[in-house]
A and B are shown apart, each in its own frame.
Chain A
């Protein structure tokens, strides 16, 4: 017997008991998470029921959920059902975010690898970098109005910076010795860039993508509150104008939930691509 333990279990029983123990601890932490959320909602509901908080300023979770159900089919008062608002926001966020990835990451990688490109572009980038994305709003309205393009552009500015910085930093950290390995095999500089530099940078790049999607989603609402005719941010703005606190809270809650969902998806993609890190 390879495993010795006080209860004299054989190996498969021992494996089974460890597995059961792990499952139990996973189960426990899941229960705790659910209790956490439920507790928060109950406290929220109680604070209104007991009159601790004036219902003019805050609606209860039950009201928000029932409004969500109503809004599934009812376009009032902002003019669109909740599904349409979500889709409209997602399209804006994902097109700006997608553009940031497609432009930001390759640019960062090239700047990080090729000194000439770095010297040429870095000063411009350093000036653009500290500008808050929302300060582009007035200019984009002048340029392209308040349609999809304008909002996507603002989201792009917000997501572009972390994409570029992280891929740039990531590829610059490529270990010299790995580059030398490629060189001794006669790889050209470009092949080394593709086969060593880019894969090496992926850990950092992905961290940047995560920051970027967060920024994109956050900036989206700002963009929609200032210049839009649909979307979650627009719905929140309308809620304020009509004095509908429940509509505002519904908008916030949906934004939070979708943000969480996106993070889960990105994490899954990351585990797929960077699975080797976990081993």
Chain B
């Protein structure tokens, strides 16, 4: 992480929805900087607007207020330099692993040979070599999410948004995927914004943690996690941070 270089500037972003006769604020005046090659975790209870924030950054929703700057330039809507890993296992069931991974490049109009080469590199990186021709229904939950990660990497983004990517995995697979994503990130440095509601996951992965309060979603606290990697969740320092963050977190109902 290079604290001197701001990669993404989130400036006073608000998002609200009209529900019935009322205006409901999902997130309110959220501002923070994301540094280059940082692993930034956005942590918060359910319904605190984490996903909304990520959707706004990913250009899937137009915010009601505020601006986004990537490398100092304002961005509006979805941007090729930002890629997303989704909460649900958002794979096309009719496409093979290879076809899913190369999807982004196909949209960009990259020729088949080139995109196969690039996709293969990331399939190898997420350790799915040999499964290129399998369909998603033939894969386990962890493998499906690896495909999702490979797909996001393949379009060579500068920022990766990950929306609770391991939320639907069983505990064991989740731990191994956390290690995996850390390794991948260390091999292929990118700026990652990782949303989770799991405190341990946040402390295990994050360079920094942005803790959000709920309804409307606001930034409550930003923690710098200076523990060496890979981290040990039994380490006293880890546990101390965990206690601190945990006590500061709003309860989700």
Write the residues of chain A forming the contact surface with B, with a CB cutoff of 8 angstroms.
175, 177-178, 180-187, 191, 195-196, 199-200, 202, 274, 276-277, 279
Q: Are B60's CB and A184's CB within 8 A? A: yes
* Main SS class of interface, B: loop
Is B92 within 8 A of A184, CB to CB? no
> A187's closest neighbor in chain B, by CB?
B107
> Cβ of B135: which chain A residues have Cβ within 8 Å of it?
276, 279
> Which residue from chain A places its CB closest to the CB of B58 in the assembled complex?
A184
| New A-B contacts (11) at CB < 8 Å, excluding given A180-B90, A186-B78, A186-B107 | A177-B87, A180-B84, A181-B103, A184-B60, A185-B80, A186-B79, A200-B94, A202-B94, A276-B137, A277-B137, A279-B137
Flag if A180 contacts B83 (CB, 8 Å): no
Q: Which residues of B contact A180 (CB under 8 A)?
A: 55, 58, 60, 84, 86, 90
Q: Which residue of A lies closest to B136 (CB)?
A: A276
Q: Which of A184, A196, A202, A276 has a CB less than 8 Å from the CB of B84?
A: A184
**Chain B residues in 8 Å Cβ range of A195:** 103, 106-107
Q: In chain B, what residue has the closest Cβ to A181? A: B90
Q: Are B86 and A191 in contact (CB under 8 A)?
A: no
B88 at the interface (CB under 8 A from A): yes
With A and B bound together, what is the CA distance between A183 and B108 in angstroms? 12
Q: B86 contacts which of A177, A186, A199 (Cβ < 8 Å)? A: A177
A183 in contact with B59 (CB, 8 Å): yes
Residue of B60, B92, B155 touching A183 (CB-CB under 8 A):
B60
Kindly state the separation between the CA atoms of A199 and B95 in the bound complex, as whole angstroms: 10
A-B contact count (CB 8 A): 66
Residue-wise interface mask of B (14-58) relative to A, using a CB-CB cutoff of 8 A (1 in contact, 0 not): 000000000000000000000000000000000000000001001
Contacts of A187 in B (CB 8 A): 107
B108 near A199 with CB under 8 A, answer no
Name the distance in Å between B115's Cβ and chain A's nearest Cβ.
Answer: 12
Chain A residues, Cβ within 8 Å of B78: 183-186
Residue picked from A184, A196, A199, most chain B C-beta under 10 Å: A184
| 9 pairs from A and B in contact (CB 8 Å cutoff) | A177-B88, A178-B92, A181-B92, A183-B59, A195-B107, A200-B92, A200-B94, A277-B137, A279-B137
- The reply to whether B82 and A276 contact each other, CB–CB distance below 8 Å, is no
Specify which chain A residues have a CB less than 8 angstroms from the CB of B108 in the assembled complex. Answer: 185-186
Note all chain B residues with C-beta closer than 8 A to A182: 103, 107
Who on chain A is nearest to B109 by CB? Answer: A191
Q: Once the chains are docked, how many angstroms separate the CA of A279 from the CA of B139?
A: 10
